[in-house]
Amino acid sequence: MFSLQDAGRAAVDRHERTSLDPDDWQALRKQGHQMLDDMFDHLQSLGTKPVWQHPPSSARALLDAPLPTKASDLAEIHAIFRENILPYGSGNIHPGFMGWVQGGGTVTGMLAEMLAGGLNANLGGRDHMPIEVERQIIRWTREIFSFPETAGGIFLTGASQANFVAVQIARCRKLGRDVRVTGLSDESRLVAYASSEVHGCVPRAFEMSGIGSDQLRRIPVNHLGQIDVDALEQTILRDRQEGFVPFLVIGSAGTVNTGAVDDLAALRRIADGYDLHFHVDGALGALGILSPDLAPLFAGIDSCDSLAFDFHKWGQVPYDAGFLLVRDSEWQRQTFASDAAYLSRATTGLAGGDWWPCDYGPDLSRGFRALKTWFTLKTHGTEALGNAMSANCRLARALAGRIEREPTLKLLAPVALNIVCFAYVGPNGTAPASVNSHIVERLHAEGRVAPSLTHLNGQPAIRAAIVNHRTRQADIDALVHSVLTIGSQQDLPQC
C-alpha cells in the first residue's frame, strides 16, 4: 500500500531532482493539450498539404546538435518538432500517398500510443492486464482467420520479423527442438519453397537463420503472378531425389510487387503431401479477409500452419504492429521457451500469469503494440476496416481501367488487390522505359501524389499501392493527370 511516508520520499526525490517527472503538472497539462491539438489540426488538414516535401538543410542542421547535457523546455522542443519534423514526414498518412505498401494510421491508434507510452508496459511476461489485451488480439485473429483454439500468436515489429520467426518455427518442427542447441549439421540439407515474387525479407530470413538463401527455391509464377504449383511439385520431387530435405513452403497472400495471391488451398495440399510446414506471408493482403468481397481471394488461408501479417498496413494501426499467427502455440514454445533464473515464475502474484510472451517469440522486452491495435479494432470495428480495403481495391480497379483507356499508358500486371503497376509509354509507345523513374521523382517533388517505382521484368514501373483509408478518386485522378502531364513534357523520340 502506498503510504504518506512513500509520498514524502517521492517529494524528497523531486527536491533532489532525481525524478524526471515535472515540478509543475499544471504547466505540463497545458503544453500536453497543446501538442495534442496541434496533431489533431495536422491530421484534419492533411489534404491541404503536400504529401512529401524535401526537408530543408536548416531542419537537418537542427538535428545535428550536440548531445544535450542540460534540460530544455518542453514547449521549445515541441516547437522544433512542429517546424522541422512534422511537415517533413514520409507522407504515408496523406491521402495522396500510394508508395510502397504503407498504412495511413488511425487517430484512435495514435491516442492509444500515448496511453501505452504513459503506462510504459513491458509485455515480455508477468501477470498484468496489458498482456491480456495482447491475448485478446490473438483470440480475435484466430477468429478472423478461422484458426483453431490451439493457435497462438505474437506481435512483432513487422512481417519481416514474423516471416523470420516462422522460418525458425518450421526448422524446429522439422529437426526437433535440439536444433536450437546443436545448430544445423551438414546432413540437415533443409530446403524451402516460395514464388519468384516473394518479398525480399523471406530470403533474408533464410540468411539470418543460417540455412542460407540458396536453400530457398524461387519457383516461377503464372500469368497472374501466382506460384506455379506444378513447377513447385516438380522441384520438390527433384530435391528429394537429390537428398535434400524439403521442410517449408511459403505462399504469398498479396505479393509485394503486384498484390497477387497464391493458390493457398493447392499449397496446403502440397504441404500435406510432402510433410512441409505451410507458411503464408500475408503482410499486405491477409487482412483483406475482413472485406466480404475480397475474402474469397484468400480461400485456404485458414489451413496454413503460420501466417505473417501487418496490422500497420491494411489494418491501419500506427507503426509498428506486425503479427504472427501460429496454428499450434506449442510450436512457438518449442522454438523459443527457455529457463532463466532471473525470469523465475511464481504461481501467484506479479511473477505469475500463465502466458509469458517471451516464451513464444524472440523478444524479452516488448512494447504494448496490442493497445493501439485493440483501440483501432474496437473504435472502428472490422466492418469499417474491411470497407476501407474494398474501397482501396475499387480505386485500384478504376485506375487500371483508366490506364487501359489511355493510349500513352500501359498496365503492366493484372490487378488482384490494391496494387497497380503501369508505365508511361508515350503517344507511339516509343517512350524509353527510364522515363518512368523520372516521372516518379517529379511526382514526389511536386507533392500532390506519391506512388513508388518498381521493376517488372527488368523494366521500371510506376507502382500505386492504394492502402490508405483516406485515398479518394480525386487522388487517383490527380495521379493519372500528373503522370500524363509530366510524361508529355519529356523529350521523347519521334516516330
Ligand X SMILES: Cc1ncc(COP(=O)(O)O)c(C=O)c1O
> What are the residues binding ligand X (CB under 6 A)?
101, 158-160, 199, 201, 254, 256, 281, 283-284, 310, 322
Closer of 322 and 451 to ligand X (Cβ): 322
Residue 253 Cβ vs ligand X, minimum distance, rounded to whole Å: 8
Provide the residue type at 330 as one letter.
Answer: E
Closer of 285 and 426 to ligand X (Cβ): 285
Cβ atoms < 10 Å from Cβ of 490: 15
List Cβ neighbours of 229 (8 Å cut-off, separation of 6 or more).
263, 266, 267, 270
Residue 171 Cβ vs ligand X, minimum distance, rounded to whole Å: 19
User: In 3-state terms, the chain is what percent helix, strand and coil (to 5)?
Assistant: 45, 15, 40
The answer to whether the CB of 289 falls within 8 A of the CB of 251 is no
Residue 317 Cβ vs ligand X, minimum distance, rounded to whole Å: 11
* Angle formed by the axes of helices 159-175 and 329-336, nearest 10°: 80
Closer of 160 and 436 to ligand X (Cβ): 160
Closer of 153 and 426 to ligand X (Cβ): 153
Distance CA 483, CA 436 (A): 9
Distance CA 35, CA 411 (A): 44
Q: 3-state class of 307 per DSSP?
A: strand
The number of residues in the chain equals 495
Closer of 92 and 235 to ligand X (Cβ): 92
C-alpha cell at 349: 502474484
Closer of 130 and 322 to ligand X (Cβ): 322
Distance CA 160, CA 284 (A): 12
Is the Cα torsion angle 482, 484, 485, 489 positive or negative in sign? Answer: positive
The answer to whether the CB of 419 falls within 8 A of the CB of 320 is no
Closer of 116 and 284 to ligand X (Cβ): 284
Distance CA 212, CA 45 (A): 48
Distance CA 24, CA 31 (A): 11
Closer of 199 and 327 to ligand X (Cβ): 199
Residue 142 Cβ vs ligand X, minimum distance, rounded to whole Å: 21
Q: State the residue number with the nearest CB to ligand X.
A: 158
Cβ atoms < 10 Å from Cβ of 225: 21
C-alpha cell at 254: 498479396
Residue 74 Cβ vs ligand X, minimum distance, rounded to whole Å: 32
The answer to whether the CB of 322 falls within 8 A of the CB of 162 is yes
Residue 409 Cβ vs ligand X, minimum distance, rounded to whole Å: 24
Residue 388 Cβ vs ligand X, minimum distance, rounded to whole Å: 18
Residue 310 Cβ vs ligand X, minimum distance, rounded to whole Å: 5
Residue 177 Cβ vs ligand X, minimum distance, rounded to whole Å: 27
C-alpha cell at 90: 514520409
Closer of 225 and 254 to ligand X (Cβ): 254
